[in-house]
Amino acid sequence: MEKRTLGKSGLKVTAIGLGCWAIGGLNWRQGVSVGWDGADDEESLRALREAHALGIDHLDTADVYGDGHSERLIGRLLKEVPRDTVVVASKVGWLAGSAGCAYEPVHMCHQLEQTLANLGTDHLDLYYFHNPYFGDGNAWIHEAAEQMHRFKQEGKIRAIGQSAYSFDEFAKVCPVTDPDVLQLRYCYLDTQYDDPEKDLFAWAEARKYGLVLFSPLGQGLLLDKYDPKDPPAFREGDTRRNRRLFSAEGLADLKPRLARIKERFGHSPDSLARVAIQYGLARSRLAVSIPGFKNAEQVRMNAATDGRPLPADDVAFIRETMKGLGA
């Protein structure tokens, strides 16, 4: 598997890792569906083992993925494999518990200790601020940043990450949180970072931030799995209930664009996965991808896209094809 270095963090990981959100299962936060349907614990564990056997070494999870369930599944894998063969990332920031803000330092300390217990390890390789919302008026940002850097000084984490959802959010908080790695949603459904004035990739490279790209398959949309005449009906607790592109209208907008992609690159799910994953990896040598999965077959399909880059003209074709699509 191709490996890349995550910028100034120095962490060297496979260009294709594992996004472990979906294996957490159905979940809610403040009444909003934020999980995934269709996960099976034993199948998830088989998939984790398959990924390790294939050489995938970057596992990305969070305390809120199944409220610790995803972390505990990874913990089962870590009992079976040498700890230094896996780069484990988790996150804090969405589960507030009884705290007024999830970034209050006392709460961050509790969440990190719980995450370490769930994983059965004494350290994380990468620990993210899961969002850029540090309370009213960013009241907790300075104390939260100090606490995160204290974790690093204590050896409980090796590198600090920042996740956010727009260029402006990253630009606002990173001067204070001082991360090593940025995590962002990026696939060819998401065009906000293609604006030259909002080019997060160039901004990150200038600052030597590593980049971790989540949802490269567009939560399965880019595999052309859904029919606009029979749109999927996801259960309560599944985050996809909230997205326009899973509706009949959204799928009807997406379908002809995917037809053009398939004409150029191939009609199989494997071909579509390769295009989607390599599209993001083409943006920066500091970027790695963490496609989601729920079974070993999906892990194998994603891994098979490794080492099959897209030339610049293919990237330009995809970008032009998707122009004007609202994600």
149-203 pLDDT per residue, tens: 999 999 999 999 999 999 999 999 999 999 999 999 999 998 899 899 999 999 9
Measuring CA to CA, which residue among 102, 101, 106, 85 is closest to residue 93?
Answer: 102
Q: In the structure, what pLDDT confidence band is assigned to residue 18 with cuts at 50, 70 and 90?
A: very high
CB-based contacts of 241-249 (< 8 A; 24+ apart in sequence): 241/33, 242/32, 242/33, 243/219, 243/327, 244/326, 244/327, 245/189, 245/218, 245/221, 245/327, 246/221
pLDDT number for residue 325: 80
Distance of CA 72 to the CA centre of its chain: 18
On the question of pLDDT at 311 being above 90, the answer is yes
pLDDT at 326 over 70: no
- Tell whether the model's pLDDT for residue 133 goes beyond 80: yes
What does pTM read for this prediction? 0.97
pLDDT tops 70 at residue 103:
yes
Confidence of residue 323 (pLDDT cuts 50, 70, 90): confident
3-322 is classed CATH 3.20.20.100: yes
CA distance 114 to 103: 15
Would you state the pLDDT for residue 49?
98
For strands 126-129 and 160-163, give the pairing.
parallel
pLDDT digits (tens, 9 = 90+) for 282-307: 999 999 999 999 999 999 999 999 99
